[in-house]
Amino acid sequence: MDLGDFLWSLLVIYFIIFYFMLLFRILGDLFSDDDVSGWAKTAWIIFMLLLPFLAIFVYLIVRGKGMYERAGERAAAANAAQQDYIREVAGTSGGSGADPAGQIARGHELLTSGTITQQEFDAIKAKALA
């Protein structure tokens, strides 16, 4: 095998990996979208099976902006859920009557387990001592 064949093989492998990344991203977006009916999802999958490249291009043109927005909404929801969980575990959700030492101890446990950062621990400590 000469250098040209090797480089051509690398290029083909790159495009195969790129194709599968796009395919799985589109399928993930399609199945996570609650606004699309089951029939529409089935039609998209049949379209992707029969004409895969055309289907990918059409999906990205028609629903590409929505993919970005849905991914942003899912990320924001996950971030909010994580922040709520941290507040619940740390006992810093407004109005908790826990003693400051207990709040600091729970914050330190979260810090040592890697759940929160040093800055978040400092905020918990400052709020408990305030």
The full DSSP string for 77-104 is: HHHHHHHHHHHHHHT-STT----HHHHH
Tell me what pLDDT residue 91 has: 64
46 lies in a domain? yes
Q: What is the mean pLDDT of the chain?
A: 88
Sign of CA dihedral 49, 28, 56, 63: positive
Residue 90 burial (C-beta neighbours within 10 Å; 0-12, 13-18, 19+): buried
* CB atoms near residue 44 (< 10 Å): 20
Range with the poorest average pLDDT among 2-6, 54-58, 90-94, 122-126: 90-94
What percent of the chain stands above pLDDT 90? Answer: 48
Residue 93 pLDDT greater than 60, yes or no: no
Find the range with the poorest average confidence among 70-84, 87-101, 114-128. Answer: 87-101
Mean pLDDT value across residues 19-30: 93
Residue 54 in domain: yes
In a domain, 40, yes or no: yes
pLDDT at residue 122 tops 60: yes
Residue 57 belongs to what domain range? 1-63
Number of domains into which the chain is organized: 1
Q: Is pLDDT of 79 > 90?
A: yes
Residue 56 resides in a domain: yes
Share of the chain above pLDDT 70, in %: 94
Spell out the alpha helix ranges (H) of 33-51: 38-50
Going from the C-alpha of 1 to that of each of 12, 16, 56, 126, the distances in angstroms are 15, 21, 33, 66
Query: Is 89 contained in some domain?
Result: no
Average pLDDT over residues 16-40: 92
Over 80: is that where the pLDDT of 70 sits? yes
The answer to whether residue 37 sits within a structural domain is: yes
Residue 128 lies in a domain: no
Q: What is the pTM of this model?
A: 0.58
Residue 113 falls inside a structural domain: no
